[in-house]
Structure formats: C-alpha cells, structure tokens
Amino acid sequence: MILRSFKEILQRERYVVDTAPTGAEAIQKSFAEFYNLALIDIRLPDMEGTKLLTEMKETIPKMRKIIVTGFPDLQNAIAAIRGAADDYLTKPANPSTLIATIARQLEMQAKEGDYDQKKVVDFIESRVKELESHDSTK
C-alpha cells in the first residue's frame, strides 16, 4: 500500500516512477536500467533493505538511495549509513517531507555530477598543458 502511495505522490510531482516489490527485482532492474534515486524499505519480502543497499548497481552519476522504515531505531539508522544510504525517512512519511528529501538528494546528485565533470575537464586541460610544455622542450 505504501509503495502505491509513494508512486502516486511522486507521479503527481511529475517524477518518472518505477517500482519493484522485492529486493531481487530491484537488483535486476538496477542492472538493466539507469535510476537517479531509489527509495528502499528497510524490510522487504525477500531481504533486508540494508542488504539491497549494497547489492544494487551503482550508476553514474551515483544513484541516490533513501532508506524508508516504519521501525525507526538506532540500529536501523546505523545499518543504513553503513550500507551507504544517502538519507533516511520514517513511515508514515509526510508527502511534503518525502518530496523535499527526494528533491534535496537529486540536487546533491546534480552537484556531484557537475563536480565530476569539472574534475575531468581540469585533468584534460592540465594534461594538455603538460604535453605542450613537454613538446616545447624538445
């Protein structure tokens, strides 16, 4: 029911949404498609969400992963952080909190992508200068 609710809320906000009711299906989809962000329930029918965090394929720019739990406790939060979760939401998630969290994570992803592109450009420019100076000393 929560999966359906999240999907409806996000589609109303004009997000393109795909769902996977099991961890195995989510893993399979992450290898076949590009996803910017994944909302991962801490408890799935076939595995713990913290295991799914480490099993999903990383994408470029890095897919943002948000753990969603109806069982908020310190151990879940620690496991989510160790599993490389980018954020943590508790159920029932307020729609405005859900949307704000997703928007923030996607903004961070965009900034990281810009930074990665800048690093590549800086590397190429420095390498070209290095090669040009090497050629001029010959």
Q: Which pLDDT tens digit goes with each residue over 36-81?
A: 999 999 889 999 888 888 888 776 568 899 988 887 666 666 666 6
| Span 112-132, average pLDDT | 69
CA dihedral over 33, 36, 39, 40, signed as positive or negative: positive
Interhelix angle 95-136/2-12, nearest 10 degrees: 60
Confidence band, pLDDT 50/70/90 cuts, at residue 127 = confident
**Reported pTM:** 0.73
Please report, as a single letter, which amino acid is at residue 112: E
pLDDT at 27 over 80: yes
Angle at 107 between CA 106 and CA 111, to 5 degrees: 115
CATH architecture of the domain with residue range 2-109: 3-Layer(aba) Sandwich (3.40)
Integer CA distances (angstroms), 59 to 29, 34, 36, 56, 116, in order: 12, 7, 8, 9, 13
